[in-house]
Each structure stands twice: as structure tokens, then as C-alpha cells.
Structure 1
Amino acid sequence: MTSAAGSALLRAELPGGMTGEQVRSIGDFIAAQQQPDGALPWFTGGHLDPWDHVESAMGLTVVGRHDEAMRAYVWSARTQRADGSWPMRQTDGVIDDAAADTNQCAYIAVGVWHYFLVTGQTAALARLWPTVEATINFVVRGQLPSGAISWAMDPERRWADEALLTGSASTLQSIECACLIAETLGHDRPRWRAAGRTLRETIRHRPEAFADRSRFSMDWYYPVLGGAVRGDAALARLDAGWETFGWPTRGIRCVSDEPWVTAAETAELIATLDAVGETNRAASLFADVQFLFDESTGGYWTGMNIPNGEVYPVEQTAWSAAAVLLAADALTQATGGSAIFRDAGRWNGWGGALEGATG
């Protein structure tokens, strides 16, 4: 096991009253959820999905638990299906939902690139390249005529004709990271570049290509977090949704019509704000969300109903803890992977203009 003492995040000047000891305890919390085979379920005894498994591995990476993070990625490589996908949901190795969510599958490219940025281990990229290649090939096969990515393939191998804005925006970052991995290893994947370029333009300019899930805060900030929308358009987009989703001194809502503030969405918005230079607002939000930290476990409650002060659901997930660690790393720029979201959308290999995005 790699010692967490090796992480620069523990020694950074942390925001929001967070201490190095708290960072260590959060890393310990995530590691305690990992199964012997490397899988990272939501929590011990809970289910696993491919996206949150990777998010949790990224949290382990930033606290210096590189061996545990690699075990998680090796688990992904070992359990990947022949078509490059993973089942949407499984519990203790038993598949609960055999469908494949494209965004969930694609995210391993972000995790693997992040691991390389933190550790500098090109050998890790080479080791996991077949896994990344197979899953991105799977995902781009799901691109719809609109340019958006089908949100899922069902167990009968039929693509859904519906696309989700959050999923497509996250998938854009995954394709970009996969292209960066390919470039680093000396591979060229023009099909990925074409898919990413088209997807980026669809996110920017064709809102009708996506199902209406505007009540979810992720649809508000993910086009910025994933790198499709930056600059003035990004700032305007974030300002436009602040009153709808923000909760003063607490964080942000998961959905606009419920008084439910969540740790993970708030942490992702922190990384989003940092990515567009809104560092002060991000740091303030980071301090706000610490009310969900549980000192006795090192974890974060998923969320809370603010008016009645009730934790909901009564669970602490590995991925919520990881999201907070990634936000802390973004604000401190402590590790080599701290700019994983700040740099999203900056790769110049797509072809075509990268400026002038609209919200």
C-alpha cells in the first residue's frame, strides 16, 4: 500500500478549515470501502457502478494511495465485457442491471489520465490502454445523428435514442482524456477526435438534442466542468443558475424543486468554479459543504434536507468523499492531477475552432 503521507495534498494550505489529518481520514474512509478484489462500491455492502468506482479511485490517488487506486483500475480491466462496457449496476460481483451507461463506462479514461498526471507513470497508461481503447470505441459507437451520445445500451444491445446533457458533457471529457492517453503513447484515433469534435459542438449549440432534465443541477454545470463551455459563456451559464440551485452557507441542491443539498454536486461545482477562475467563490462553497463531514468516520453524508436538518439518504458514499478530495486538490493545485478539470477542453487536437463557445 502506498503511504498517504506521500501526497502533497496533506501538506497543502487547505481551504475551508480542512486539515491534513482530515484529508488523511477521508482517504482512509474510501480505502475502507474497497473490496479485496479492488472493487469500490458506494459503501461496504452497497452496489457498484463504473463511474463512481472510478471517482473513488481518483480520490485514493490524490491522497497518495496509489496502489489501492491501481487495484481499482485493474479490477475494471479484469471485469470489462467483450464489447468494452461494464454493467450499470452490480453488488458483490452479481449483476443487478446488465445495461451499459455510456458515461459511466467512458469515465475510466479520466481516471487513468488523472492517475498518470499524479504519478507520472507512463507504464500505467500502457497497462490500461487496452481497457481505455475498448471502452471509448464502445462509447463512440453510441453517437446519435444529433452528435450527442446515447445514454445507454440495453441488455439486448439496443442503443437508447435519448441523450442526457450531463452524461454527454462528462463523456466529452472522457474522450478528450482518452485522446491524450493515445497521444502520449504514440497512437492516433481520428474516429475519437471526430466524435469528440461533433459532441462538443452539439453540447454548445443544440440543446434540443438532449432530454429535458433541467431540474438537475448537473445539467447546469456539467457543460462547463467537462470543458465544452468556457470563457464568458461559462460564467454567464453559472451565474444564471446560481439562484435556482445555490443554498447560501450550505452548498447546492441536487434538484431545483427539493431543499436537498448534496456533497458531491457541491464539490463538482467547486471544481467547475475553479476551472473558470472563480476561485474565491469556489473556496467559499468548499467551506460551506464541510457541514456534511462526519469526523467519526472520515466520510461525508450524501446530502441533507436543509429546512428540517435531516440527513438523506442515511449513507456515506466513497464517491462523495472522493469528490470533496478532488475539489480540495483543484483549489490547492497540490498534485499533478489537480488541473484535471481546469484543463478540460484545452486540448487542441480536435480540429476546428476551440473558442467562441456559447452557453
Structure 2
Amino acid sequence: MSLPWISGVLTRAQVRATGAAIVEMQEPDGALPWFPGGKTDPWDHVESAMALTASGFHAQARAAYEWSAHTQRADGSWPRELRVGRVVDVGVDSNFCAYIAVGVWHHYRASADEAFLWSMWPTVRAAIDRVLMFQRADGAFRWAADYRTGEMFDDALITGNASIYSSLCCASRIAAAVEVPVPEWDRALADLAAAFTRPTETFLPPSDHSMDWYYPVLGGPIRGAAGRALLDEHWDRFVVPGLGARCVDHRPWVTGAETSELALALESVGDVDRAAQMVESIQHLRDPDGSYWTGLVFADGKRWPVERSCWTSAAVILAADAISRATPAGGVFAELGSVPVPALDS
């Protein structure tokens, strides 16, 4: 399998080293924590597993997905946080639960491993069925629930819903691949797509975090000219030339993961040059072992937090794969916008 690369920015060997740095953080049971001894959450765990696939560590990626299958609860959800195998936060996050579909579809696209797809189908089915319980009448998804009482928190977050959109797209493709019709998933996707046509009525107002800016493009509900216009609209608010993208608009702090995800969003609307520039701009965060520091406070030149996070390294690899299209899964995010969304009256 070819490895991702970006001309003049990252070689294949460097991407492989970043994947190896993620492998070094993987726990014996397959979990991929934020950093050794740190928290594991179901979303970042899957993102890191995707990066293992893209950098050629397929066995380790499969171990990560096996961890997801084994730790899934009877209701289809996962705890929001574990630490070295111990549950720290039992809460249910709808976006966290949904993201397994993106990871499974990504690994299948990269590997063409039908046995893997079938083995993970029950996990995906249970997770997405659980997530659908969070959907409101207006098409948006509530963000979380109390696991013990089942009480749902009604707020719908724009980033979380954009991510759920990508998960539903991938889940529908998995269902098609295993030839199991799931019309309720298609309906949920159509209703969520409609919600993004009236965002001010549906979601909480965008916060000062850059994710609320670019994620509707990255996740797939806003693409084409509208997606390009949205990225241009707040470019100067969040992008620091030569250093990366801010995590929060009013803080002098650029972060590798947000910058790489912005690169993924740019690539998904065809802006490959700026995507590559974004990844190039955060190479100051690269450690000699191939891992990436989480961020830089550019006002004083200090890295903060003082950690090399697994998911930051993962985001860099995924951005490199999208830009180079080195693996068969490199176009997974860009293809989200091409997933047919059923008509609302179907």
C-alpha cells in the first residue's frame, strides 16, 4: 500500500514515523488514548485508528476497532471517557457514538477487507440505532444523555451534528455494502441535511472555536461554492499565516489537530493548495520521533498543553492522505458531499 505524503512538506517515511508514534501510545487492549496514561474517548480513539490504517499499520488499527466492539455497551453506546481501561465518565455523547461508522468505512475502503466489515457491522448497527434516539423533530441531534437515567440534553451543537452527518453517510454506505436496507438511517440523514439549510433556527449559535466554522464543510452538509465561501468568510479570524489555525478565535494559540482538520475541509472543496499550506504551517509542532505536539501559544512561543497527543498526529496523517490520495481511503471525507440524500417525502 502506498503511504501518504505532501510534496515539500512530508515524506512517506515521515508519515510512517508518525503512525509508528501512534502505535507506541496504543494500550495492550487496543485503546488509543490522548497520550500514554491519559483519557480515551470513543471519537478520538476512532480518528487515531483511521490514521493507523492510512499509515499502513492495519493490524494495530484492527485491534483498535476490536476494542471499540468489545467496550460497546448493550445499548449501543460507549462511555464518554475511559482511562487505562477504567470508566471515568459514563455519559453518552451522540457524536462520539456515531463516529465508529466513519472509521469502519474508512478501514474497509483502505483494505477491502470484507471479513472486517462484516465483523464490525453489528457494532455499527447498534451504535447508529442508538444515535437515532437523539434526533429531534427538526432533524438535529441532541448532543448527550445521562446514561443512568436516560435523560437527554436538548441542545444541538453544529460541530457535533456536522460530524454525525458524516457518520450517517458512512453508515449508509456500510449498510449498502452488506446489503442490509436501513431506511430509517436514510430518513435521519435527509432530516439532518434539511436542518443544515436553516442552521440559525436549529443549532446553538457557533462558538468562538474554529471547529464550529469549518466542520459543516468537513462533515459534508455544506460543500461546493457554499463550502468555499464559508471557509473564506472566517479565514482571517482563525488562520495565523505560517503558524496554523487558532483553536479559539481570541486566543494566541494554534493547534495541530484543528489546522489539519481545516486542511481536510479545504481539500474536500477542491482547495488542495491551501490544504497543503495548512499542514506545512504546523510542522513546527513535529517532534523528532514523528509525533506532534498539541499546540503553540505563539504570543510567548511555548507549546501548550505540554503533550504530544495521539489525535493530533492522527489528524496530520489523515490530512496528508486526503491531499495525496495515496490510499484508497484518501477520498473518504471529500466523497461525503456526493452521498445521495433521499428526498424528505420519500
Alignment partner, residue 189 of structure 1:
182
TM-score w.r.t. the length of structure 1 is 0.93
Verify the 8 A CA contact 1:146 1:202 in the aligned structure 2. Answer: yes
Asked if residue 60 in structure 1 is aligned to residue 60 in structure 2, the reply is no
Asked if residue 270 in structure 1 is aligned to residue 263 in structure 2, the reply is yes
Deviations 1:256-285 (A, max 9, x none): 111110000000010110110111111111
Alignment partner, residue 116 of structure 1:
108
My pick for the range that moved more, 158-167 or 341-350, is 341-350
- CA-based RMSD of the aligned residues comes to 1.3
Separation in 2, partners of 1:15, 1:328: 10
Separation in 2, partners of 1:94, 1:281: 41
Asked if residue 168 in structure 1 is aligned to residue 176 in structure 2, the reply is no
Verify the 8 A CA contact 1:110 1:174 in the aligned structure 2. Answer: yes
TM-score w.r.t. the length of structure 2 is 0.97
2:245 to 249, 252, 258: 252
Alignment partner, residue 357 of structure 1:
none
1:306 to 289, 298, 307: 298
* SS of residue paired to 2:331: coil
Deviations 1:72-115 (A, max 9, x none): 00111011001100000110111111101111111010000000
Verify the 8 A CA contact 1:16 1:288 in the aligned structure 2. Answer: no
Please report how far the alpha carbon of residue 20 of structure 1 lies from its aligned counterpart in structure 2 after TM superposition. 2.1
Verify the 8 A CA contact 1:15 1:328 in the aligned structure 2. Answer: no
My pick for the range that moved more, 223-232 or 212-221, is 212-221
Separation in 1, partners of 2:171, 2:153: 23
Deviations 1:153-173 (A, max 9, x none): 113211111111000000010
Counterpart AA for 2:152: W
2:191 to 198, 203, 212: 198
2:146 to 133, 151, 154: 154
Asked if residue 215 in structure 1 is aligned to residue 202 in structure 2, the reply is no
Alignment partner, residue 282 of structure 2:
289
Alignment partner, residue 3 of structure 1:
none
Structure 2, gaps ≥5 residues long:
none
Separation in 2, partners of 1:226, 1:352: 20
Please report how far the alpha carbon of residue 352 of structure 1 lies from its aligned counterpart in structure 2 after TM superposition. 5.5
* SS of residue paired to 2:335: coil
Asked if residue 126 in structure 1 is aligned to residue 118 in structure 2, the reply is yes
5 Å matches for 1:37-56?
37-56=29-48
Please report how far the alpha carbon of residue 19 of structure 1 lies from its aligned counterpart in structure 2 after TM superposition. 1.7
Alignment partner, residue 3 of structure 2:
9
Verify the 8 A CA contact 2:94 2:142 in the aligned structure 1. Answer: yes
Structure 1, gaps ≥5 residues long:
1-6, 354-359
Separation in 2, partners of 1:228, 1:25: 33
TM-aligned CA distance change 1:208 to 1:259, over 3 Å: farther
Counterpart AA for 1:302: T
Asked if residue 226 in structure 1 is aligned to residue 251 in structure 2, the reply is no
Question: How many pairs were matched up?
Answer: 344
* SS of residue paired to 1:228: coil
Separation in 2, partners of 1:220, 1:16: 28
* SS of residue paired to 1:68: helix
Verify the 8 A CA contact 1:57 1:111 in the aligned structure 2. Answer: yes
Verify the 8 A CA contact 2:91 2:146 in the aligned structure 1. Answer: yes
